Amino acid sequence: MDPKHRQILQRHRINLVETLNPADICDGLLSKGVITQDMIEEIRSKTTRRDQARKLVTDLETRGSRAFPAFLECLRETGHDDLMELLQSGVGAHQPVPIPVQPSVLIPLPVQKPKYTEIPDRPDLTPPRLVPLRPGTLPVSKPLSPPSETPGMKPSRQRRDSIQSYKMDASPCGMCLIINNVDFDPGSDLKDRKGSNIDCDKLERRFKALNFEVAVKRNLKCKHIRHEMSSLAKRDHSAYDCCVVIILSHGTDANHNRFPGAVHGVDGPVVPVQIITNYLNGQNCPSLQGKPKLFFIQACGGDEKDTGFEVSPDEVQPSLGGTDDQTDAIPMSSSSDSLSTSDELDARATLPTPSDILVSYSTFPGYVSWRDTQAGSWYVENLDRVLEQNAATDDLVTMLMMVNDAVSQISAKGLYKQMPGSFNFLRKHLYFQTSQS
């Protein structure tokens, strides 16, 4: 959907939820190819009309460029003129939005042989055949087969807007656990993580604004990290739609099958990221089955320092990091330089990967993650900014790509780079609650 149309739906969501009766327009939207029968059944499964309307509006935001004008047309056809005019006012009250249609197949008339015309038959395999014209008639073109049904042609990609969205309207939306390890034991050989409290404060405010119940735990030893995850898994999440875990710590690399990385307790030992995610999988936490579990890891994935590669000046807008940048990794060898500090890599574990999990890493596996002791980490700073500016209109995966792009353009000491990334096992789009929802 065009961003400006999505913003109009967001702006008038309260009016739509209070007034709209989805039963009046679902059939029209189905006939126009905007929603599917499965989506209608999911909308009808909601117990109240308001919930049905909220679900319909949320689904429309994911249904491509034709959804908004088709929605206006259905409102007009069913007598919801007031709602139609309200939405049209955002794009010009006196300029109705036309419904885009597929262009008609034009049948060219030949110049040299006026008694014949060309009809596309098997354009992928054979040249057009000629069909004689009878006086006063035009040939009826044979409908072109969909690409997926035409022999010899590569099937087209599935439309992005065919993916449904997770339910995210509970209040509060879910639990958000933040583990912020700053002060490390002297015997751990890990330096204190100056600047991490800045990250923690930003993310606490941000996820409260996204209607999460936030709990912050500071300076946890390895066994206490496991204890907090176990306690979170034992909670009843039936009334929630989502769960978020944020870990700010040193990290290290390790063998893995699925999720890379491990995070350090303040006493030194590590907990693999895979083990952390397993606490909330469908087997260990049944009340989160089918619901999104999100993990954000600000820790290193290794001790490699990325110097990047040269590109055209038009491709990036370089940004220098702070003057006091540190990494969140421990060097793997005995040698070190003036930039090497005591934060570690992210480990990898060996258990099966459940569905509905997304793990977002501050850096590519094997590489360091940079943190400014005065401004916080590059990753968290940009994650917070992107969520603030785009959560009302964009899904989580799209926003994480924005974070990737922003962080990739920063340079530490004018030399070193960082590339965030994620392991995504979500099955649907995820849109956070915002004040505009």
Out of 47-56, 94-103, 268-277, 405-414, pick the least confident. Answer: 94-103
Q: What is the pLDDT of residue 321?
A: 53
Q: Which residues of 336-361 are buried (b: 16+ CB within 10 A; e: fewer)?
A: eeebbbbbbbbbbbeeebbebbbbbb
Across the range 188-198, mean pLDDT stands at 89
Taking the C-alpha atoms of residue 422 and residue 61, their distance in angstroms, rounded to an integer, is 24
Between 254 and 131, residue with greater pLDDT? 254
Q: Kindly tell me if the per-residue pLDDT of 351 is higher than 50.
A: no
Across the range 60-85, mean pLDDT stands at 86
Taking the C-alpha atoms of residue 39 and residue 285, their distance in angstroms, rounded to an integer, is 27
Encoded tokens for 146: 């969909």
Between 291 and 163, residue with greater pLDDT? 291
Q: Which of 60-64, 199-203, 251-255, 403-407 has the highest mean pLDDT?
A: 199-203
Taking the C-alpha atoms of residue 386 and residue 401, their distance in angstroms, rounded to an integer, is 10
DSSP H or E run through 40 = helix 37-44
Q: Which of 116-125, 144-153, 184-193, 362-371 has the highest mean pLDDT?
A: 184-193
pLDDT tens-digit map of 204-215: 999 999 999 999
Out of 159-168, 359-368, 412-421, pick the least confident. Answer: 412-421
CATH number at 174-424 = 3.40.50.1460
Residue indicated by tokens 């110097």:
307
Between 240 and 257, residue with greater pLDDT? 240
Q: What is the pLDDT of residue 146?
A: 45
Residue indicated by tokens 């995850």:
229
Across the range 284-292, mean pLDDT stands at 92
> How far, CA to CA in Å, does 228 sit from each of 205, 233, 261?
21, 9, 19
176 CB-contact burial (10 Å; exposed 0-12 / middle 13-18 / buried 19+)? buried
Q: What is the pLDDT of residue 365?
A: 61
Q: What is the pLDDT of residue 370?
A: 64
**All residues at 6 or more sequence positions from 37 whose CB lies less than 8 Å from its CB, including other chains:** 30
Report percent pLDDT > 90 for the chain. Answer: 33
Report percent pLDDT > 70 for the chain. Answer: 65
Q: What is the pLDDT of residue 256?
A: 62
> How far, CA to CA in Å, does 89 sit from each of 4, 74, 84, 395?
12, 17, 9, 25
Secondary structure string (H, E, C) spanning 223-275: HHHHHHHHHHHHCCCCCCCEEEEEEECCEECCCCCCCCCEEECCCCCEEEHHH
Nearest to 437 by CA among 128, 176, 98, 168: 168
pLDDT tens-digit map of 215-255: 999 999 999 999 999 999 999 999 999 999 999 999 887 66
Average pLDDT along the chain: 75
Encoded tokens for 148: 């997926």
Asked about 300 being catalytic, the answer comes back as yes
Q: What global pTM score does this model have?
A: 0.56
Would you kindly state where each structural domain of the chain is located, as residue ranges?
A: 3-100, 174-424
Domain 3-100 has CATH 1.10.533.10: yes
Q: What is the pLDDT of residue 126?
A: 45
Q: Which one is catalytic: 250, 256, 264, 429?
A: 250
Confidence of residue 115 (pLDDT cuts 50, 70, 90): very low
